[in-house]
Amino acid sequence: MREIPSDFGRVVVGTQAELFSEALRITLAAQAAARPGRFLWALTGGSTPAAFYKWCVESSALPPELINGTHFTVSDERHVPLSSPDSNFGNAERQLLAPLGVATDRRLPWMVAWPVAEAAEAYRKTMLILAGPGRAYDLCFLGMGDDCHTASLFPQTPLLKDDGGLLFGGQEVPGKGWRLTITPGGLRACGKIVVMALGAGKAAALHRVHRGPLDVENVPSQLLKTCAENVVWLVDEPAAAQL
């Protein structure tokens, strides 16, 4: 593996297997740094986490203390039932949590059965109890879209411009429906953040984030500059081609 300097966090470049091992190593370190029995790990949506879940399950990579000592959630969610293939938590549950036998009281989905505002408020209350005031996740996994969005913070969306001091919220994203998401302030309140971006399709977006002009409203992933010391980007060689 090699590292590339960036103002937006540590960029680690390697093969998929190396990056997944590194993601697990970071996770175990984050758990060790968390309060005993209170490790809060947010997974995310997309094809990269799906490949990571498969790797975790097939290689039995997660030790029992991680499986049994973690509260699992997702950093953002679509306002759809957990049974939907579009549900980020539903997919995490089907592809990782259920195969690993994670206890149901350690699975923390967003409350998607409720209207968005109530769902966001209920989630904030749950996170306040688990994480404590002013804190979000101990570890937050993120992906990045072609438009440089991360979590459900899309270009030109309200929560990206002003999160009202809230760590979690909901918003309608034109063309993508209602979303529940960690906010910019929430990301700054995380212990550690891991952004995984694999494949040549991510090269242009990674270039815009790391080498383009600072323009958070149109390049949302650049907001991570404000907490860069806690951020690790895990990217493969095709994705790193323009860095």
- Find the part of the chain contacting ligand 6PG (CB under 6 A) among 29-37, 44-52, 59-67, 120-128: 44-52
By C-beta, is 49 or 185 nearer to ligand 6PG?
A: 49
Cβ atoms < 10 Å from Cβ of 200: 13
- Residue 77's DSSP bridge partners are 180
Does 47 help bind ligand 6PG (rule: CB under 6 A)?
A: yes
Smallest separation, CB 229 to ligand 6PG (Å): 23
Are the C-beta atoms of residues 139 and 169 closer than 8 Å to each other? no
DSSP state letter for 35:
P
Question: Rounded to a whole number, what is the largest CA-CA distance in the chain?
Answer: 45
Give the shortest CB-45-to-ligand 6PG separation in angstroms. 3
Nearest-CB residue for ligand 6PG: 46
**Which residue from 109, 143, 170, 220 is in contact with ligand 6PG, where contact means CB under 6 A?**
143
Instruction: State the minimum distance, in angstroms, from the CB of residue 214 to ligand 6PG.
Output: 21
Residue with tokens 């404590």: 132
Q: Select the residue interacting with ligand 6PG from 69, 145, 191, 212 (CB under 6 A).
A: 145
For 179, the token pair is: 């979303």
Least distance from C-beta 69 to ligand 6PG, angstroms?
A: 26
User: For ligand 6PG, which residue of 48, 73, 75, 222 counts as binding (CB under 6 A)?
Assistant: 48
Look at residues 109, 140, 123, 113 and name the one whose alpha carbon lies nearest to residue 39.
Answer: 140
User: Please, what is the angle between helix 47-58 and helix 16-33, to 10°?
Assistant: 80
Query: How many residues are present in the chain?
Result: 243
Residue 88, helix vs strand vs coil? helix
- Window of 1-9, 32-40, 43-51, 89-97 that interacts with ligand 6PG by CB under 6 A: 43-51
Residue ranges binding ligand 6PG (CB under 6 A): 44-48, 143-145, 152
